[in-house]
Copies of this chain bind each other. A is one copy, B any other.
Amino acid sequence: MSAPDIQAPTAEMMELLEELSAFSAPGDGVTRLLYTPEWRMAQQHLLNRAGESGLKAYSDSVGNVYGRLAGTRPDGKVVLIGSHIDTVVSGGKYDGAYGVAAAFTALGYLNRMYGQPLRTLEAVSFAEEEGSRFPLTFWGSGNVTGLYDGSEAEDCKDSEGVTLLEGMKSCGLGDKEPSAPRSDISAYVELHIEQGIVLERTGMQIGVVSAIVGQRRFAVTVKGTANHAGTTPMGLRRDALAAAAEMMLQMERLAAEAGDPLVATTGRLVVTPNTPNVIPGEVAFTLDVRHSREDELEAFCASVVSAFEEIAERRNVALGMALRLSASPAPMDSGLRAELEAICHQQGRTYRAMVSGAGHDAQLFAPRCKTAMIFVPSQGGISHSPEEYTPPEELAAGLEVLIALLYKLGYEETDEDGLVPQNTKERWT
């Protein structure tokens, strides 16, 4: 069987994407939080659509929805393709939902066009990734990969005091035993909007993700002395905000020196007492650092801590830095990356290897199976906003690349583990 001449079912995917966006709480953009009525309706809609496409539709104990296209091979291995169905509050139509709509549409298309594959393909719509309702993230993929075991559901509460378990029960879940982590997944593929401006700025259609960045998040506090803004000479001040300003600028300089793909951000900053005529006595701010390599991440954080300490000592303010989050980089599978680049080449698409600065469900699969991520551009880099947008032709390009990869993974005769061997690039050029 040779590489197919794909006519991407763009209209079908766009229709599904539009349908999903209608399952939203009132307000700007799309708001579809875990275990809400709109979330339940969206997942039910996908179950229906999967069934109509000839896929085996089912859901697991936490409400992840699957559409299974069973293969003829008896090894029981599965190629899983998907993303998450939940959104942030007043989010866009594309974050997560695009990858879900593309996965279900792609399997329906492959089933129609090529029938039963050699290897089992499953589309998935993960219950949750954003952490928008409950104080946890990756609840969907985390239950599949073993990050969670379901026991978290009793104690974890949303801002209204509703437990995760109560949320599950409101959607007809939570009564059966938690599903065990899946051990049958040999590969995971996720298509997603970039949520950044790299593809747009560089004029590329496709991003082949090389790694999802590792991350450190610090809570920083600087304590000086609050004092009268009029009566305290500049030389006698212990201004916590001036010290924080110097720290932020120094961090920015160090990040520029480190170069891409390192990013370092102070997104949140709170001043106390925050009154025009009082010198700030205390400033609390966050520091979010990301890099695709663990050693670079560590080295940068060490240089920031050292610079902050020097500034605090010189300015006679007290410095506190608490590590609040630490995640290792998740490299994508080099074989699948090579396949994706070959497909882009074959389809005549512009593409680039790139790091994902955002977290994705794929990072939970990367340590466990061959994992790939495909990005399409985000207009203006805007995401987590009603203004999130990618034109249909750019969404279609991602879908075509995905289908080509799934055709290879599902229908081509290759090695025994159900996946294309790494050195097959010549077949595509």
Contacts and interface: CB of A to CB of B under 8 A. Distances in A.
B252 A242 contact: yes
Contact of A357 (B195, B215, B228, B383): B228
Interface string A192-213: 0011111001000000000001
A233 interface: yes
A69 to B, nearest CB: 32
Contacts of A279: 265, 267
Given A265-B277, A279-B265, A230 B215 contact: yes
Contact of A228 (B217, B241, B264, B384): B384
* Residue with the highest number of chain B CB atoms closer than 10 Å, among A197, A241, A249, A265: A265
A268 B244 CA distance: 13
Interface residues of A, number: 60
B248 A234 contact: no
A274 interface: yes
A260 interface: yes
A74 interface: no
B252 A249 contact: no
A272 to B, nearest CB: 11
A232 interface: yes
A262 interface: yes
A356 B286 contact: no
Contact of A262 (B228, B234, B264): B234
A231 B267 contact: no
Nearest to A256: B234
A248 B359 CA distance: 33
Contact of A260 (B196, B235, B255, B269): B235
